[in-house]
Chain A
Amino acid sequence: KQEVTQIPAALSVPEGENLVLNCSFTDSAIYNLQWFRQDPGKGLTSLLLIQSSQREQTSGRLNASLDKSSGRSTLYIAASQPGDSATYLCAVLTGANSKLTFGKGITLSVRP
């Protein structure tokens, strides 16, 4: 059974800091890994998707890496801004039935 872990559950940083969010998963037989953002009371927005054959993806100030063999991914946020405050969810997709398994998320607060 696939399990996804994100630690810590919450993080507070001053504006401008570079930060790394970690994600680990137990079964390396994944199709892809995704990072989502969820704002309070809102739905999920896909930030980055890394296919199982890829090592990283970049979008603006965000960079996500994947080490499938060790079951780890990191989301790097450069020069954090208050607008980055949200919950960041890591999820892995297993291809057999397109099942997406989520971690519990990391709630990020960026202080002005």
Chain B
Amino acid sequence: DTAVSQTPKYLVTQMGNDKSIKCEQNLGHDTMYWYKQDSKKFLKIMFSYNNKELIINETVPNRFSPKSPDKAHLNLHINSLELGDSAVYFCASSPPLGSGGAGDTQYFGPGTRLTVL
């Protein structure tokens, strides 16, 4: 029973293509996130959604568009892929702040390794 799942695990594509990464969580959380981990392993937030509403948008190029059809899903669509988009993308979810103790954390998916050729 995977808590946060992402598909695909690996994605290899050509520059200029459009691709999507899907994320689903079965934890009943209201908030979901997308992070990018670059080649130097630096993990940085891109977006967060709370109940399908955009909360955080960290100056990500508008080629990246998150889509939340319901609060259990947050998909990431990327248009006109560039070489610099190559990275590992992580989805995460979290309960409301104040859930208490170790509950105030984010649960991460396994990541999607995107390679743009």
Contacts and interface: CB of A to CB of B under 8 A. Distances in A.
Interface of A: 31-32, 34, 41-46, 49, 51, 87, 89, 93, 95, 97-102, 104-105, 107
Contacts, number: 59
B12 interface: no
A102 B44 contact: yes
A94 B33 CA distance: 15
Interface of B: 31, 33, 40-45, 48, 50, 55-56, 90, 94, 97, 101-102, 104-111, 113
Given A87-B41, A97-B48, A98-B48, A49 B90 contact: no
- The A interface is mostly helix, strand or loop, or mixed, namely strand
Contacts of B90: 43-44
A98 B110 CA distance: 21
A57 B78 CA distance: 40
A99 B111 contact: no
Contacts of A100: 33, 45, 106
